[in-house]
Amino acid sequence: MILYVNACVRAESRTNRLAKALLNKLGAYEEVRLTDLALKPLDGESLGYREAQIEKQNYHDSIFDLSKQFAEADVIVISAPCWDAQFPAVLKIYLENIYAIGIVSKYSENGGPRGLCKAKKLYYVTTVGGGYDQRFSYDYIEYLAKHAFGIPETELLCVKYLDIEGNDAEEILSRAINNIDEMY
């Protein structure tokens, strides 16, 4: 199963258009539109509840539904526009909510994370109005994928300079979408 984690908040998102072009090449997918979920950052109460369920190994609780979906995906596509040199907060909240020990990760003998996810590849799709420094978005996702979730391969698909004065954003995006058609 291909899992599409959609962190785009705008109805006419350029990032979503780019991701959908990739998904059309990859095949049928299941979409999780983060803005449609009632995700909240973990607080003392929700974190305590989750830890209690993990301790009891009660992974059937609905609090783990998104974690299990993520862990069972064969391929994961995350789309998130780059805002203020990072991704939207809803993606961080999603990652915080799915990071359940015993489902997506476990502790190794030296105390570090060992990934339990089935996916062999994660694509990170983003668009940027100007230049792009991947340290605060893609690099973070890549680190989690490889070191915490056990996903061995990641790929960045980034279209930048869309909002530079004099640039034709639609032309730049269309060219990138056409390149996807040629590459995949």
Counted residue by residue, the chain has a size of 184
Q: Quick one: pLDDT at residue 57?
A: 92
Q: Quick one: pLDDT at residue 113?
A: 87
pLDDT at 183 over 80: no
Phi, psi of 11 (to 5 degrees): -60, -40
Percentage above 90 pLDDT, the chain? 88
More confidently predicted of 109 and 21: 21
pLDDT at 181 over 80: no
Q: Quick one: pLDDT at residue 126?
A: 97
The pTM of the full predicted model, rounded to 2 decimals, is 0.94
Give the pLDDT confidence of 90-134 residue by residue, as tens digits: 999 999 999 999 999 999 888 888 999 999 999 999 999 999 888
Q: What is the distance of C-alpha 13 from the center of its chain?
A: 16
Average pLDDT over residues 49-68: 94
What is the DSSP-derived secondary structure letter of residue 166?
T
List domains and CATH numbers for the chain.
2-183 (3.40.50.360)
Nearest to 145 by CA among 77, 62, 51, 43: 77
**136 three-class SS:** helix
Mean pLDDT score across all residues of the chain: 94
Average pLDDT over residues 54-73: 95
Q: Return the sign of the alpha-carbon dihedral for residues 127, 128, 131, 137.
A: negative
Q: Quick one: pLDDT at residue 48?
A: 94
pLDDT at 184 over 80: no
Q: Quick one: pLDDT at residue 12?
A: 92
Nearest to 141 by CA among 157, 128, 162: 157
Q: Quick one: pLDDT at residue 26?
A: 96
Supply angle C-alpha 93, 84, 167, rounded to 5.
Answer: 130
Q: Quick one: pLDDT at residue 100?
A: 93
Q: Report how far residue 123's alpha carbon sits from residue 72's, in angstroms, rounded to the nearest whole number.
A: 16
